Amino acid sequence: ERCGPRQTLNEIYASAGRGLPIAVVEDGKLVGNLDPRHIMKELGRVESLIDSFEREVFL
């Protein structure tokens, strides 16, 4: 399974949620990999910040 630069955050979030390792590629060369658990943790943190911001704006 591949993620490209045009994929949405939701699509990448789904791949990480399935536990697939995330490769970091630059110019077609592997430059690293990310543990999907770390990605899920960070995406959850960002989602929480967005939810808090939306509550402040609308209240």
The pLDDT of residue 43 is 78
For the segment 15-41, the average pLDDT, to the nearest whole number, is 84
Q: What is the 3-state secondary structure (H, E, C) of 4-59?
A: CCCCCHHHHHHHHHCCCCEEEEECCEEEEEECHHHHHHHHHHHHHHHHHHHHHHHC
Label residue 27 by pLDDT band (50, 70, 90): very high
Helix axes 9-17, 36-58, angle to 10 degrees: 130
User: How far apart, in whole angstroms, are the C-alpha atoms of residue 23 and residue 7?
Assistant: 15
The pLDDT of residue 54 is 76
Q: Give how far Cα 1 sits from Cα of 11, 18, 20, 24, Å.
A: 11, 11, 9, 13
**Structural domain boundaries in the chain:** 9-58
